Amino acid sequence: MIHGRSTTSSPLLDSEKTNQVDEREPNHIKNSVPRRDRVSKENVPRRSTRISSSSFTFPTRTLPSRSYTYFSTQSSDRLLKRLPSRVVSHIFFLAVQDNNNVQDSEDGKTFTWHPAILLSAVSKDWRDAARATPSLWTHIVINLSRHHLKIGTTTKMLKRSQNLPLTMTFLSVPPDKNNLKFKKLMVVVQSHSDRWHTVGVHELSLEYVFTDLRSVLALEYLYIDLPAQSVYSASCMPRIRSRFSVLPKFFFARNCFPEKLPLRWGGLTHLEVCGVRVDEVLKIISQAPKITQLIERVGLLPPKDSFRPPSSPIAQNSIRCLVLNEMGILLISSLLQYITLGPRFNYLDFTYNSQPGTIDILIGFLERSCPNTPLDVFIFSCTVVPPTHVPHDGHWLGKLHQITHLNLNLSTQLGVHGLRWLNCFFEMFVAEEVYYRWLPVLQRLDVTVPFDLPPPTWLLLARIFPCKRGYIEQNNEESNMNYRNSILSIDQEGTSNERPLKYVRIKSETGQQQKIAYLKQFGIKCPQPQVGNVSANDDDNDLDDGHEKLIMGAEALDLLLSARKSGVTLELINSKGHDVLNGTMI
């Protein structure tokens, strides 16, 4: 991939500019280059490219960081001329495709030039291929600041894109509206608004992008990503008025007020929100008859003070997919208490925030939306934190009988109660009084615990799979377990009571590993803990002060192996990252 910052010139757009040479080249770089290949003032070709000081990271190497780096197309052309022109062009398009979606650099800044423009500096053939391909000029990034208003650059890119749909990205806070250069740039950009396909607006540039539209703006994708502080200050986002409206099909909104924009929802099909008030989301879905997917990345904000809840939940019959991440929100901000979905609704991905009352809101929503028809997919994710009652005490999971995928993460705050909670959870699967109503349609189970499971807990897990104890095949050739040459076969007469559970993943993580996984959710890089390349059969795993370390008993092992043989996928990972079944010491 290529990373870099925007520059004020481009080999394809400003080819007639005279090129300068930085004479401050370090001695170690000068000495490492043969004399005949050095670049000097006398032999700099007119097509030399001036590129920013940031290093450009390719898939196999990283160029050194210098004040200015120049690539002479003369030596590259001599190399590429040995290949057929068709092969040269094919290599160019493969390189462009590999970097096509790269726009953000590692420092968080977005550069202006498309990777195709940067790669075209390698040779004349690549430059000609870029000029002859209009699709390479359809992604236009405009930095709305005083130092990056490239009217000529933008005009040439719009011209070379011909009549293809455009992807527009607006960056930075714009300058004063009275700036003449800025006005000219917006006139050029909005003259092609009928070709806008995707529009991304970052920071506070909404007022200058959607004001004075020349026609109705029908977009496939609209991304509005504003700073978080704009949510708390209404003055940061004034009401934008325009003669014509914007009609998006896919709308992503982060930290903004959609009601202050000239937006219409007649053609909206996908809505994704983050940091938006719940009353504005209700207004959008009530005016979007074609919406099929609603995604809530983070809990919605509380409604404004003048909000009056509807007397009855709003009926919405077109939504099929609902993804809600309600971590740490207030109950008044819960969207489910205000809506009722129709018969098309068949997919729910819900993240539980452990707030009291949230489960009751979820159960009421399910009873209204799908009282008789179960969901095709119901993913339920939860972090178990204290105070949490054991499942026997009217556990809330027993009320959510439509769950098909269950993700549980036991917090380290549970302490010794975490193991007790997990044991009670597994016991509910085999308890006779609740056998047929405890998660009856569960298909996948993911559990992350901050400790290694003891043998009694493994046995409780193994008994989830309802198979009668059969016989043990001695010297089974199909078994590749070097520590046991026997496997438990399933009694075919007991398959009628089998659950649909076909995937179980139990992962043990230490406190450090959980902290790293938590920070990764926010893009924070952490050093990985050093884990030696040790298999589960090594002596330090099997022996403890001269005694064998028992991971699980024979009965649990037989049941788990028989479940795996019947087609159940089992991933049982200990705190060292090893599969327990592939290295269990009995």
Residue 271: in which H helix or E strand, if any? strand 270-274
Residue 94: in which H helix or E strand, if any? helix 85-98
Calpha distance 578→456 (Å, rounded): 20
Compute φ and ψ for 548, nearest 5 degrees. -70, 135
CB 248 within 8 A of CB 270: no
- Mean pLDDT (10-residue bins), the chain, 586 residues: 44 45 42 42 41 37 37 54 73 72 46 68 80 85 73 87 90 71 84 92 78 86 82 65 91 90 94 92 94 91 86 93 79 87 94 82 92 91 73 66 92 79 85 63 92 90 69 36 31 48 88 54 48 36 44 88 90 85 56
CB 375 within 8 A of CB 348: yes
Q: Is the pTM of this model over 0.85?
A: no
The pLDDT assigned to 3 comes to 45
Calpha distance 460→467 (Å, rounded): 14
β pairing state of 314-316 and 293-296: unpaired
The pLDDT assigned to 135 comes to 85
Task: Cis check for the bond before 387: say yes or no (omega within 30 of 0).
Answer: yes
Residue 327: C-alpha distances to residues 76, 298, 330, 333, 356 (Å): 54, 7, 9, 11, 12
The pLDDT assigned to 182 comes to 80
The pLDDT assigned to 366 comes to 93
DSSP-assigned letters across all residues of 380-410: EEEEE-SS---TTTT-GGGG-TT-SEEEEEE
3-state SS class at 270: strand
